[in-house]
Structure 1
Amino acid sequence: MKRRLYAALTLTALIMCTVPTVNLYRVFTTQSDVKWWKAKVLYNMDLFHGLISQLIYPMGLSIHPSKVIIGKEGWLFLGDEYADKISVKRAGVDKKETQIIENVARSVELWDQWLSSKGVTAFRIVIGPDKDSVYPEYLPDWSSHTSLRPTDVLLRHARGDIYVDPIKALVQAKQQFAHPLYYRTDTHWNNAGAWIAFDELRKSLTNTQTRLIWPQARAPLTLTTHKRGGGDLAHFLRIQESLSDNEVVLNFPDEYSLPVEHHDFNSGEMTFSGQNIGIASPASLLLVSSPQALNSKKVLWLRDSFGTAMTPLMTATFSETLHVYYLLLKPEALVALVERFQPDYVFITSVERDIRGDFFQSGPPVTHVDATVIN
């Protein structure tokens, strides 16, 4: 018994000495300016986690199973740490989930009515389907889903045409495209997937917004592909450098090549001037101006990271787009933004796992909802 204890203590001591030694070597040989004396630097385990991950990844094992699930043929998927997405889809919609869905449907309807009362021409929520909703065949067998998505239940409760769910279009398109519509090592859709979702938004608005002009796709849609590093899921596994993905380059129409300016919405300061590009989730309110866009219209765009690949499409279509990271937005702040910016359209782009979250369960503040909206 003592020998085992001594062996464990010796191994622990070796690790405690080896880890900071290796980390210090990496800091000094890469000329990094990090504060090497900090404990979080000295005992950073990323390198060792990466080595372990490289060993067990080929066996279908994840060093962070709550974050990343190892699927088939190199496909990675999010785990339960993010909105219990796997468990809900495996177990189905229960009473608690049904109540949440009913709250969301009612709140979204109230927002639609309130926005209409403020002169907003159309309100749409574009769902970014979870990757496992589009490519369930690559999930491990143990995580197979029920036939009915929680999103399907939500759409049954929702009134009107507020929601744009591109799931059918994406599933149909994946049979026709030579390349996936989502990254294998990342949670997001690529440029092709974003185009299909944006086209579904166009279809949703075509009947009522007949004067809007939309970019047209060229055939073939995919122009070329090139290699890129592993995505966010590979990063969670600490093997992003050893895994790779394909970046799909679309055969963009000429409308995309237009000059744009980015301004901080609150200060008015210009932060970028150049060609139309993708924009990651903004840390602060970001106004994108594109005077040569197809339509001289203002869009308040509440979005998450699924909006990144859609940005060039939105910029080419509308002359002013206010980008807002919606997950941190409170109802009062949204009211203030609408009254200040006075948009023609309000769009939300949200990943599927978040469309039943707290943001969507909160309707307009009661002080801003008149009797006609409530009734």
Structure 2
Amino acid sequence: MPDAVKERKGARRLLAGGFAALLAGPCLLWPLARTVCDTTNYENRTLAAFPSLADGVDGWPAAFEEWLGDHAPFRNQFLTLKSGADRLVGTLDSTNVLQGKEGWLFLKDVSDSKSLSDYQGLTAYTAEETQAMADSLTALNDALAAKGSRLLLLFAPAKEGVYSRYMPDRVPVVSRPTRVGALANTLAETGVPVLFPLEELEAAALERQVYYKYDTHWNEAGAWLAAQLTLEALDKPYAAVWPEMAADPEKAPLTDLANMCGSWAWCTDDVYWALDAVAAECTLWEAGGEIARYAGEGEGSLLLARDSFGEALAPWLAQGFESTTVLHGNQMQPETLLEWQSEVPDVVVLEVAERIADNLPGRLDALRQWAEAAD
């Protein structure tokens, strides 16, 4: 056999052997290395379970691929390595996260929201959808008013709008107001107090940080401001002067966006800002915080129906009331509401994040059913 042919065969075998080693090596090393490697689930989701026969022959390969992607050996290490390489070349290759100016991260259009399209003004509610929500809001308000209770609807602005100055120049704004901005204006015509404090948060953000740099949510300062604006709209005592803020090195800032794109090891320069202000005391914390109660220094009772933005909002808002019950949207079934809030309180605040405003009709309906059945 000619030497050239032998060399080509040897090269092919070497290449095949190297490829096989790349595939099998991590699996062979993982049992020994997993005890010293970081295997934390940083993502705000449940990782895929190993497929079963119930997935069927057709669905099993896709289910297995999803499981393997979530549980591959050295997964966190490879994600961190890739993210670090992205940062070195100034890009971020992520289907869920957008890298803005000065390293700020923002949410793209994902399964449960259209944050980027909302920011650009590419989405809108139809006249029929808007009218249906206005009718539902009026029905809930009437049911509460009949039992001596007040209602306020609070939309938590998306980070993309509040920190638009850090959005990439290649992401243009096509129209304003956003779909929730337009919706809030229309719903306010029902007579129900409706807050969408985008302008107030934008103005505050010029002087202090009000959202986390690597997370979708407002921080303590943003939540505090939203609470004061809500109390003011309810004719309750509120603070008009900002409290002192100081970095608290003992507490870590939230980083859901960094976690989504494997950048948790690199996005470490954000700060947890603590406020020198009195918050309500938490007296009950159930179901991972989805059910909570607070005791404040104000008067009257409050039901706060919230989503993820409401967790930081609750202690500051509850301080304006004597007693507060807080329920996450996952717990907002009429029977659950009746279990934890059997009597209609003095005030009901419904907080809905701008990016998941499509959940509003369901929340309004559940609250109306509860209000009609409660004492």
- Return 5+ residue gaps in structure 2 as ranges: 1-8, 42-49, 51-67
Match in the other structure for 1:357 = 359
Q: What is the distance in 2 between the residues matched to 1:368 and 1:18?
A: 57
Q: In terms of Rg, which structure is larger?
A: 2
Q: TM-score, normalising length from structure 1?
A: 0.75
Per the alignment, residue 222 of structure 1 pairs with 244
Correspondence 1:261 to 2:283: yes
2:76 matched to 1:46? Answer: yes
Aligned residue type for 2:315: P
Post-superposition offset of 1:113: 1.4
Tell me if the contact between 2:325 and 2:341 (Cα under 8 Å) persists in the aligned partners: no
Q: Distance in 1 between matches of 2:337 and 2:325?
A: 14
Post-superposition CA distance 1:31-78 (Å, at most 9, x none): 9899xxx8664536222122111111344433422x111111110001
- Which of 209, 213, 230 is residue 201 of structure 1 equivalent to? 230
Whole-Å Cα distance in 2 between the matches of residues 243 and 204 of structure 1?
A: 37
Aligned residues of 1:230 and 1:241 also touching (Cα < 8 A): no
Equivalent position amino acid for 2:21 in 1: L
Whole-Å Cα distance in 1 between the matches of residues 369 and 352 of structure 2?
27
Query: Residue by residue, what CA displacement relative to the aligned partner does 1:237-289 show, whole Å, maximum 9, x if unpaired?
Result: 2221221211112121xx43x75421659xxxxxxxxxxxxxxx724x3333x
Greater fraction strand:
1
Which of these residues, 9, 12, 16, is aligned with residue 23 of structure 2? 16
Residues 2-13 of structure 1: matches in 2 within 5 Å?
A: 13=20
| Map 1:332-351 → 2, pairs under 5 A | 332-333=334-335, 336=338, 340-351=342-353
Note if 1:320 corresponds to 2:323: yes
Partner of residue 293, structure 2: 287
> What amino acid sits opposite 2:20 in the alignment?
A
Contact 2:253/2:272, CA 8 A, preserved across alignment: no
1:182 aligned onto 2:184: no
For residues 196 and 264 of structure 2, what CA distance do their matches in structure 1 show?
A: 30
Give the 3 Å change call, closer, same or farther, for CA 70–30 of structure 1 in structure 2: closer
User: Counterpart of 2:216 in 1: which secondary structure?
Assistant: coil
> In the alignment, is residue 76 of structure 1 matched against residue 122 of structure 2?
no
Q: Secondary structure at the match of 2:132?
A: helix
Where does residue 155 of structure 2 map in the other structure? Answer: 127
Identical columns (%): 21
- The equivalent residue for 1:235 is 259
Q: Is the aligned partner of 1:247 residue 2:272?
A: yes
1:297 matched to which residue of 2? 300
- Say whether the 8 Å CA contact 2:144–2:344 is kept in structure 1: no
Q: Tell me how large the CA RMSD over aligned residues is.
A: 3.6
| 3-state secondary structure, aligned to 2:214 | coil
SS at match of 1:323: strand
Checking the alignment, whether the CA contact within 8 Å between 1:229 and 1:243 is kept in structure 2 is no
CA contact (8 A) 1:224 1:250 kept: yes
Query: Which of residues 27, 47, 51 is equivalent to 2:34?
Result: 27
The equivalent of 2:120 in structure 1 is 90
Question: What CA deviation, in whole Å up to 9, does each residue of 1:191-234 have, x standing for no partner?
Answer: 1111111111122112xxxxx444x3665x23312454561111
What amino acid sits opposite 2:272 in the alignment?
E
2:181–2:196 contact (8 Å) kept in structure 1:
no
CA 1:47–1:346: 2 relative to 1, 3 Å = same
Tell me how many residue pairs correspond in the alignment. 332
Unmatched 5+ stretches in structure 1: 207-211, 266-280, 371-375
